[in-house]
Amino acid sequence: MNDSEFKILIELASNSNLTQRELSKRVGLSLGGINYVLKALIKKGYVKAQRFKDSDNKISYLYVLTPKWMYDKAKLVQQFFHTKLEEYNRLQQELETLKKIMEENK
């Protein structure tokens, strides 16, 4: 699972009434990127798109988290946490190396 997928799932878990445009603003992806990630999440079985009519009589979608997401959530959150922790540790090592180089060049 990548960052974008995880961020979208977390946003939908907090509010399933979000539009793609609202998800785009919250997650920092383009509308096309949101659409692409939502399709991937639907294909994985974590999200289901349900059609409904909004107040402007346009057909919109409601993105609903599936039982598969609820079942896999703990495992995926743990995997995501460990991935981010590894990234953090690598970045911390890089920063220490850069700090030493800067101090040597003073």
Q: Could you tell me the residue ranges of all domains in the chain? A: 3-104
> Residue 78: its pLDDT value, please?
92
Its sign, for the CA torsion 25, 27, 31, 35, is: negative
Q: Provide the pLDDT for residue 56.
A: 61
Question: What is this structure's pTM?
Answer: 0.76
Pair 51, 60: CB distance under 8 Å: yes
Q: What CATH topology corresponds to 3-104?
A: Arc Repressor Mutant, subunit A (1.10.10)
- For 29, other C-beta atoms within 10 Å of its C-beta total 19
3-14 and 20-27 are packed helices; what angle lies between their axes, rounded to 10 degrees? 120
Q: Flag whether pLDDT at 9 surpasses 60.
A: yes
In this prediction, residue 53 carries a pLDDT of 64
- Which tokens hold the place of 6? 């995880």
Q: For 62, left (φ over 0), alpha (ψ -120 to 50), or beta?
A: beta
Q: Using one digit for the tens of pLDDT, what is the confidence trace for 26-68?
A: 999 999 999 999 999 999 999 998 887 665 656 678 898 999 9
